[in-house]
Amino acid sequence: YAARKRETDASLQFLTRAFADGEVDGMTVLPKPVQRPGPPIWVGGNAPAALRRAVQFAHTWDAPYVDPDELGAGIARLHEVCRAAGRDPSSISVSVRGFAAADVDPALLDRYADLGVVHVGVTLPVADLDRAVT
């Protein structure tokens, strides 16, 4: 557990290099991604380290289980980290997740859209397979 942060950073560094170059430390990564310099990377979490990783490595910051008020504050923090790192805040998109698909309120989605959210992740009712696929 103590090495988790270091290993997460190392994994993101490896993936970023592998996607862009196709080779890392003498290892060839195949198949090469169609997207250049690589497929979009999403980093999720609300901790300061997650925001730092999102700014350093990601195309999207995924903010789990936050209401619009919390998200507004999180986006402000994300933009601060972007500016401190010399990254344009508009270069990273924002997603939220943690909603049950059947309970998503359109007014809530509008509030997220007003904050700039471009992706919303929902969960399906896996206990009821018929309901999940209809």
Q: What are the structural domain ranges in the chain?
A: 1-39, 40-132
**Rounded CA gap, 63 and 47, in Å?**
10
Report pLDDT digits (tens) over 1-27: 679 889 999 999 999 999 888 888 888
The number of angstroms, rounded, from the C-alpha of 72 to the middle of its chain's C-alpha atoms is 16
**Rounded CA gap, 96 and 86, in Å?**
24
**Rounded CA gap, 95 and 71, in Å?**
10
The percentage of residues in the chain with a pLDDT greater than 90, rounded to a whole number, is 59
Domain 40-132 has CATH 3.30.70.1230: no
Q: Looking up tokens 């994300």, which residue turns up?
A: 78
Report pLDDT digits (tens) over 71-91: 999 999 999 999 999 999 999
Tell me the CA distances in angstroms from 121 to 2, 73, 98, one per residue in order.
29, 20, 6
Report pLDDT digits (tens) over 47-75: 999 999 999 999 999 999 899 999 999 99
